[in-house]
Chains A and B, each alone.
Chain A
Amino acid sequence: MNAAKWRRAMNTGPTTGPTRPLPRAATQPAKPAPDPYADSSAPRWLKALWRTVSPRHVFVLALLLLVPFVASPFVTYQVAAQSLILGLIALSLSFLAGYGGIVSLAQMTVAGIAGYAVAVLGASGTASSLGWHWGLVVPLALLIAVVCSTLVGWLSVRTDGIYTIMITLAIGVAFYYLVLQNYSVFNGFQGFQKVYPPTVWGISWRSPMPFYFLCLFWALAGYFAIQWLVRTPFGIALQGTRDNARRMNSLGFNVTATRVLAYAVSGLLAGVGGVLLVWYNGLISPGSVGTGWLINVLVIAVLGGMKHPIGAFLGAIVFILLQTFAIDLIDRERFNLVIGGVFLAIVLFSPDGLLGLWAKLRMHFGPSQVLTSTTQRR
């Protein structure tokens, strides 16, 4: 069955809840504008690119590329690069939650597992590190992250909905206590210091500008990978399991396998984020995978909105800006109060996060948008 048929099958089904996001294709205008380049001899991919890219995409990309040249190294490193990394980790959650309907709190744990793998296998300031070459360590760390994420998925997809959040939280906190109490492998409370990115091609990837571009590359890669993935048959099937798992099951889809695969994909994203995060901080300790951070990832994803991959990065930027600059206005110790309050306000008043807020504003003030589906909806 192809993707178009699927979309139709999904759209004719009963809506499962008021917050069900429309498939991206369905929110586009009813009739695409006639393509002025249809008869030119340009290659197909160029035409497709021309159709999908709008001025705002170019604007955002230019802005992203210009940041390190305009802003101070502090902003480049502490604000921009950190936002990209946290955005990538939050993206792994927002992919699971937005498209799979699975809210997992263990994403930071998966990222932390990748980070710990880098610290344990690679070089660090602690004697127990094995000091292998980074070219071996990083793929291994990602592999371990994917395997662990798959295991978490295998454990938690046996139960659904509200249970998932509890089980993943339990797994995450259990991992925190494991690294806290274990000294032989994870070096206990101290963790690992001086875990730095390697120097490759004569570039020290630790200095702000190269590190920013490294993060930008992987963030964009993750963003476009998710954009592409949700339109593949697997992505459509995943959205089907979110909307009506029982129907997907009776149609012959293996719901469990689809969900576990989604966990594996999110594990890869979180793993990349985790490797970058440990390089960013230069250290990893139990505090990096504590409950606070498990929840912060959820806060970031919800803050931005889970209906579109961009929400994760939006949430990360707001989170980092609050973290960096809110302490000028209030006591540094009270940051949790601010972020908790903002999170509460978002959940209470705008369940779709900043993206939902933006959509609401556009509906009120902007030009009228055609928001009907391309296919018939009953």
Chain B
Amino acid sequence: MTRNERFATWLLVGGPIAVFSVWALADNTRLYLVTLLNSLTLASLYFIVASGFTLVFGLMRNVNLAHGSLYLLGGYVGYVVARETGWWIIALAAGFLAAAIAGLLIQVLILRRMQGQELRQTMVTIGLSIVIADLLLMVFTGQVHQMEAPSFLQGPIRDIPLIKAYSAYRLSLLGFGIAIGLFLWWLLNRTLVGSMIRAGVDDRAMLAAAGVNVNLVFAVTFALGAGLAGLGGVIGAVELSMVPGEDTRLLLASLIVVIVGGMGSVTGAAIGAAILGLAETYGLAYAPTYSVVFTFVILIVVLAFRPRGIMGRPA
């Protein structure tokens, strides 16, 4: 891309957004700012769930379509643990662990037997998502389950300039997203496991030849990715509530995030999540009937100009 082209792209994309922002700020400052916070917090949740998805895909070329089911599983387990113990932090850990163990079992028992057959692996995860969703429906029924926010995050934060009041829990989502993003960055760039994962993304065969137990790295990564889905499930259980069907919604969000952001890239997941969160929330606030269309248009535009996503690299 030459400098002029890049400039034109920024102008074409940024221009309308800037015009809209100026108009919306002048029209109703509070609505604009609250929507901005809403979209960034939603984006954090999307990032937490999608980063696990993209991590697994990047290393194993394995599209785990049961990711949404793992999200729901984590949420339900977290709900039960929170109800029994009353500790939200323990629920968070339990949701993470439950999904991680489920993911580990899927990887070790099923997916490992068909290593390299990507399409078949994907179909297996589709079958698993049907079965897990139905089992969860059997145990937890179709009722709406809602988790309570921990006591120290309940209620709104008041006296913020311009916005006045905003939910403390919602704001904490932003912190969660940033914390997990930083943790993943640290894990991938500063630890031995991370360097193995990065090497595996680039060239699996070479990593194995270098004497690394690739199967172990795969299992750890899959468990981590699944666990992130479960963690997202517990966090989302407070904000979005849990019903059958949420799994599909989060799966769709993860898919769009990684398609837009570029598959296998955690930075891409962050960018994609931010774009999706902004598009969805602003769409709902300013043009309710067509919010899905916005998301879809973004998907088309990105695919038309960057078929592998914004941060994607050729496989």
Binding site for B on A (CB under 8 A): 17, 19, 103, 155, 158-159, 161-163, 165-167, 169-171, 173-174, 177-178, 181-184, 291, 295, 298, 302, 333-334, 336-337, 339-341, 343-344, 347-348, 351
Contact = CB atoms under 8 A, between A and B. Distances in A.
Contact of A170 (B134, B252, B304): B252
Q: Interface centre among B255, B300, B308, by most A CB within 10 Å?
A: B255
Given A174-B296, A181-B289, A184-B289, A162 B130 contact: no
27 contacts: A17-B117, A155-B303, A158-B303, A158-B307, A159-B307, A162-B63, A162-B118, A163-B259, A167-B259, A169-B252, A170-B255, A170-B299, A173-B252, A174-B292, A178-B293, A181-B291, A182-B290, A334-B134, A336-B134, A336-B137, A339-B130, A343-B123, A343-B130, A344-B124, A344-B131, A347-B124, A348-B124
A162 B292 contact: no
A289 B190 CA distance: 46
Interface in B260-315: 263, 288-293, 295-296, 299-300, 303-304, 307-308
B175 interface: no
B127 interface: yes
Contacts of A163: 259, 263
Nearest to B138: A334
B127 A347 contact: yes
Nearest to A172: B252
B170 interface: no
Contact of B130 (A177, A184, A333, A340): A340
Interface of B: 61, 63, 65, 110, 117-120, 122-124, 126-128, 130-131, 133-135, 137-138, 248, 252, 255-256, 258-259, 263, 288-293, 295-296, 299-300, 303-304, 307-308
B110 A348 contact: yes
A174 B295 CA distance: 8
A171 B110 CA distance: 28
Contacts of A19: 117
Contacts of B138: 333-334, 337
Given A103-B119, A166-B63, 7 more contacts: A169-B65, A170-B255, A173-B252, A174-B299, A181-B290, A182-B289, A343-B126
B300 A155 contact: yes
Q: Interface centre among A165, A333, A344, A347, by most B CB within 10 Å?
A: A347
A340 B307 contact: no
A159 B255 CA distance: 14
Contacts of B256: 170
Contacts of A334: 134, 138
B127 A340 contact: yes
Contacts of A336: 130-131, 133-134, 137
Given A161-B119, A173-B252, A336-B134, A167 B303 contact: yes
Contacts, number: 102
A105 to B, nearest CB: 9
A173 B248 contact: yes
B130 A295 contact: yes
A162 B119 contact: yes
* 6 closest cross-chain pairs (CB), A and B: A340-B130, A344-B127, A340-B131, A336-B134, A158-B307, A177-B292
Contact of A351 (B118, B120, B295): B120
A337 B299 CA distance: 33
Contacts of B134: 334, 336-337, 340
Contact of B126 (A173, A295, A333): A295
Contacts of B110: 348
B94 to A, nearest CB: 25
Contacts of A184: 289
A351 B295 CA distance: 35
Nearest to A158: B307
A295 B130 CA distance: 9
A298 B131 contact: no
A156 B286 CA distance: 30
A291 B135 contact: no
Contacts of A170: 252, 255-256, 259, 299
A155 B306 CA distance: 11
Contacts of B300: 155
Given A166-B255, A334-B138, A337-B134, A159 B303 contact: yes
Nearest to A347: B123
Contacts of B259: 163, 166-167, 170
Contacts of A165: 63, 119, 122
Q: Interface centre among B61, B291, B292, B296, by most A CB within 10 Å?
A: B292
A173 B117 CA distance: 25
Contacts of A348: 110, 124
A334 B131 CA distance: 10
B296 A343 contact: no
A346 to B, nearest CB: 8
Contacts of B122: 162, 165
A226 B117 CA distance: 27
Contacts of B248: 173, 291
A7 B186 CA distance: 53
A163 B299 CA distance: 13
B123 A341 contact: no
A295 B247 CA distance: 14
A112 B138 CA distance: 29
A97 to B, nearest CB: 9
A174 B248 CA distance: 11
Contacts of B307: 158-159
A184 B293 CA distance: 14
A340 B133 CA distance: 10
A340 B129 CA distance: 8
Contacts of B131: 336-337, 340-341, 344
Contacts of A339: 130
B61 to A, nearest CB: 7
A210 B120 CA distance: 40
B289 A183 contact: yes
A339 B126 CA distance: 12
Contacts of B65: 169
A159 B63 contact: no
B61 A178 contact: no
Contacts of B303: 155, 158-159, 167
